[in-house]
């Protein structure tokens, strides 16, 4: 069965969700990040997707205290993203308890640095985060669009040990209209040795079952859980 990775997005230490990556379309939720993480662990979730939106926007981590709190109070394997653009930020995030780090903007703007990090820390701990908007990769908290495609990025880093890629379709993110199924099927077929992690648009368990049937191995789910489209009980049955 496909591995479900619940998402917690952070602004000012609180759980939020954006629509299409737009910081002006922010919805804040009452549950604390730690409470949500503990609920996920209680139903059998093993891996958590934790994103520092403040860090992504400001180019350095801003919510590491939340990461440290969740890492200390749960046994979840945490993949952390947002603002990892220097050796210091990378070290601080690992020290705060991240099991994996998601590297996005640096992979586009400083590919030599990401290649070095991959060689030093391995593809088991570093994940390429590619946020795609109409075929092009967006960077810096989705505020800038690059000239690179996701295929160009993956091809650049496979020789350096890349094993996991989170691909987020920004046009689908937070819309609850289903993911871009053909995009993920094509990428997974093209890169069978890498795990293509689906992100953006999941609206129901039916979306997840369809991705599983298509051979995808991991899917990130966020807003559908907060909005009650997918329940914790359903997650616990998988």
Mean pLDDT of 209-221: 97
**Residue 123 in contact with residue 163, Cβ under 8 Å?**
yes
Is 9 considered catalytic here?
A: yes
Give residue 11's pLDDT band: very low, low, confident or very high (50, 70, 90).
Answer: very high
Span 88-108, mean pLDDT?
A: 97
Q: Which CATH superfamily is domain 3-236 in?
A: Aldolase class I (3.20.20.70)
Q: Is the pLDDT of residue 141 over 70?
A: no
pLDDT tens figures, 33-64: 999 999 999 999 999 999 999 998 888 999 99
DSSP 62-90: S-HHHHHHHHHH---EEEEES---SHHHH
Q: What is the mean pLDDT of residues 205-219?
A: 97
The per-residue pLDDT for 100 is 98
* Cβ atoms of residues 148 and 137 within 8 Å: yes
Structure-token pair, residue 63 = 């919510």
Can you give the pLDDT at residue 174? 78
Degrees, nearest 5: CA angle 55-57-61 = 10
Asked if 131 is an active-site residue, the reply is yes
- What's the mean pLDDT in 20-42? 87
CA-CA distance, 73 to 212, in Å (whole number)? 31
| Residue 237, pLDDT score | 80
**pLDDT band for position 142 (cuts 50, 70, 90):** low
Contact criterion met (CB below 8 Å) for 207 and 178? yes
pLDDT, the chain, mean = 93
Domain boundaries, the chain: 3-236
Catalytic residue (choose from 54, 92, 131, 173) = 131
For residue 143, is pLDDT > 80? Answer: no
Q: Contact, 223 vs 17, CB < 8 A?
A: yes
Number of helical H runs and strand E runs in the chain: 11, 12
């Amino acid at each position: 069965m496909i591995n479900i990775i619940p998402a917690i997005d952070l602004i000012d230490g609180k759980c939020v969700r954006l629509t299409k990556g737009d910081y002006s379309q922010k919805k804040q939720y009452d549950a604390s990040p730690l409470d949500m993480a503990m609920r996920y662990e209680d139903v059998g979730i093993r891996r958590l997707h934790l994103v520092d939106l403040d860090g992504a926007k400001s180019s350095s981590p801003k919510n590491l205290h939340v990461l440290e709190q969740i890492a200390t109070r749960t046994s979840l394997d945490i993949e952390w993203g947002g603002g990892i653009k220097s050796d210091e930020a990378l070290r601080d995030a690992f020290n705060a308890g991240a099991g994996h780090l998601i590297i996005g903007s640096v992979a586009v703007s400083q590919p030599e640095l990401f290649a070095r990090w991959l060689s030093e820390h391995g593809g088991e701990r570093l994940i390429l985060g590619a946020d795609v908007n109409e075929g092009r990769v967006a960077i810096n908290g989705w505020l800038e669009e690059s000239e690179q495609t996701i295929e160009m990025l993956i091809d650049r880093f496979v020789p350096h040990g890349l094993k996991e890629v989170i691909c987020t379709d920004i046009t689908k993110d937070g819309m609850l209209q289903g993911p871009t199924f053909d995009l993920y099927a094509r990428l997974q077929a093209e890169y069978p040795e890498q795990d293509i992690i689906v992100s953006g648009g999941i609206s129901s368990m039916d979306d997840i079952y369809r991705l599983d049937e298509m051979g995808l191995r991991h899917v990130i789910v966020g807003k559908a859980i907060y909005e009650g489209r997918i329940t914790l009980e359903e997650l616990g049955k998988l």
